[in-house]
Amino acid sequence: MDKRYQFFKKLTVYIVFFIVLIFALIKSKEFLVPILLAILFSYLLYPIAQFLEKRGTPRILSNLAAIFSAILILAGFIFFLSTQVSLLTEDLPRHMEQATTNINRIAGGFASLIGVPEEQLRQRTISMAADFIEDYGELLRSVFAVTTSTVVRIFLMPVYVFFLLYYRNKVFDVILWMAKKDQKGETQKIINEVNAVSTNYMTGLLIVVLILSITHSVALTIIGLEFAILIGVVAAIFNFIPYFGTLIGAIFPLVFGFLTSDTLTTVLWIAIYFVRVYMIYCGKVI
């Protein structure tokens, strides 16, 4: 009886702790998300800061130079994306017309196969496609909309990154201080391995995304898809998701190509291209 009581007592404590932890994470997400992003950016900028420090540049100047360079690159990237999205949303009526044409073409053949009146199927499909395009346009506008909280996070992010880079040794010292005396050597080894793996992983992942952005943009341009650079970059960004990022990123080019191209051959070539990229990517990962 006592053992069962102790078991349920511990289980209750664990459940309450888990619920409180989840609640605290949800309530503190406005603070934790920028911190986590700052940690990721710190690992990305660490090689640059370390490179400058090894050549005699003071740590403060090295960190500021790395952060300032990242801000310039990120600002140019955001400006490019926002410009392309504005052009895309302004061109939505023309894409709606082409999407209607494509849907009418497919609905005619599909209706006869399933025994549904062609006009009914056509109107229903057109309505769904129109809602999808309008909703997607609104989503793009909302993503790039500037709010007060967004501005605050943007300005706080470089501050977090700077202090994480500047006091990185202090963080490691605190971790070593908490370790037992006979475990300090092993703890130091684990810290160095985690730091090296995290830095190499984030740097390699960024290089992969940059390469795929160029590759997707060139391939989609050759295929003849409109807004090929924007769509290629967006598809490449999804590769931050391990394994399935390429397939998830391919959905947007396929849907966009189906709705806006005047021939289904374009969609076929897009599908072939992304399947090939996914096979190569999986081969490299495995």
The model's pLDDT over 50-65, given as tens digits with 9 standing for 90+, comes to: 888 888 888 888 988 9
Closest by CA to 284, choosing from 239, 233, 238, 251, is 239
Q: In terms of DSSP H, where are the helices of the chain?
A: 2-27, 29-54, 59-90, 92-114, 118-143, 148-166, 168-178, 184-223, 228-237, 245-260, 264-285
- Please state the pTM of the whole predicted model: 0.66
3-state secondary structure (DSSP) of residue 272: helix
- The answer to whether residue 91 scores a pLDDT higher than 60 is yes
pLDDT in tens, 129-151: 666 655 655 555 555 554 445 55
Determine the Cα–Cα distance for residues 87 and 228; give it in Å rounded to an integer: 13
Show Cβ contacts of residue 177 under 8 Å, excluding neighbours closer than 6 positions.
none
Task: Tell me what pLDDT residue 144 has.
Answer: 53
Mean of the per-residue pLDDT values of the chain: 76
* CB half-sphere exposure, 137, CA atoms < 13 A: 16
Check residue 241 and report its DSSP letter.
S
Percent of the chain with pLDDT over 70: 71
- Phi and psi, residue 242, nearest 5°: -65, 145
Query: If pLDDT is split at 50, 70 and 90, which confidence band does 105 have?
Result: low
pLDDT in tens, 219-240: 988 988 888 888 888 888 888 7
- The answer to whether residue 114 scores a pLDDT higher than 80 is no
CB atoms within 10 A of CB 69: 12
Packing angle between helix 168-178 and helix 184-223, nearest 10 degrees? 140
Tokens of 276: 């090939």
Q: What is the separation of C-alpha 252 from the centre of its chain, rounded to a whole number of angstroms? A: 14
Mean pLDDT, rounded, for 143-161: 64
- The answer to whether residue 171 scores a pLDDT higher than 70 is yes
Are 102 and 259 in contact by the 8 Å Cβ rule? The answer is yes
pLDDT in tens, 17-56: 778 878 777 777 667 777 877 888 888 888 888 888 888 8
Determine the Cα–Cα distance for residues 74 and 281; give it in Å rounded to an integer: 26
Mean pLDDT, rounded, for 93-101: 69
Task: Tell me what pLDDT residue 286 has.
Answer: 46
Check residue 28 and report its DSSP letter.
T
| CA gyration radius, the chain | 25
- Phi and psi, residue 229, nearest 5°: -70, -45
Mean pLDDT, rounded, for 1-12: 68
Percent of the chain with pLDDT over 90: 1
Of 67-71, 122-126, 216-220, 246-250, the poorest mean pLDDT is in: 122-126
pLDDT in tens, 238-268: 887 777 777 788 888 888 887 777 777 888 8
Determine the Cα–Cα distance for residues 110 and 120; give it in Å rounded to an integer: 12
Are 260 and 132 in contact by the 8 Å Cβ rule? The answer is no
Mean pLDDT, rounded, for 199-226: 86
Determine the Cα–Cα distance for residues 208 and 215; give it in Å rounded to an integer: 10
Task: Tell me what pLDDT residue 148 has.
Answer: 47
Task: Tell me what pLDDT residue 140 has.
Answer: 55
Task: Tell me what pLDDT residue 147 has.
Answer: 46
Query: If pLDDT is split at 50, 70 and 90, which confidence band does 123 have?
Result: low
Mean pLDDT, rounded, for 173-178: 76
Closest by CA to 235, choosing from 222, 220, 78, 130, is 220
